[in-house]
Amino acid sequence: MKAQWMILGFGMTIASYAQMMNMTIPFATAMKDSMVRMSAGMHSAPVNGNPDHDFATVMIPHHQGGIDMANAELQYGKDPAMRKVAQDLINDQQGQINQLQAWLDRAPKAAKQVK
């Protein structure tokens, strides 16, 4: 069964993207879904014009996208070196998400206001 979903707004199906990238369709679908969620999260982040605040709110979904992609590698990938990179990425980016969220939680009200 040929996948008919569109990817990245270029009229490319999952199957053609998977073929082009030499990926299996389940892996390509997981990667596409990760990128779509990441992009939507970044575009809908609650920005307010304060660079510190906006950096934190946009980077959280960006890092979560990296974690989601790394999880796809752990689910479908076989190479031990790449699986280690994926696991390290998950650990690093989750730590950074925690740091960003902690900053947002304790940020002074001035950082949460439009400047």
pLDDT digits (tens, 9 = 90+) for 22-44: 667 888 889 989 999 999 999 99
Q: Is residue 103 part of a domain?
A: yes
In this prediction, residue 112 carries a pLDDT of 65
Mean pLDDT of the chain: 85
Q: Is residue 13 part of a domain?
A: no
Give backbone dihedrals phi and psi of 113, rounded to 5 degrees, phi first. Answer: -105, 150
* pLDDT exceeds cutoff 60 at 74: yes
Count of structural domains within the chain: 1
Q: pTM of the full predicted structure?
A: 0.76
In this prediction, residue 6 carries a pLDDT of 46
Secondary structure of residue 80 in the 3-state scheme: helix
In 3D, which of 57, 46, 12, 55 has the Cα closest to residue 31?
12
Q: Is residue 7 part of a domain?
A: no
Using CA atoms of 61, 66, 72, 78 in order, give the dihedral in degrees to the nearest 10.
Answer: -170
In 3D, which of 92, 96, 6 has the Cα closest to residue 60?
96
The range of the structural domain enclosing residue 87 comes to 25-112
Q: Is residue 11 part of a domain?
A: no
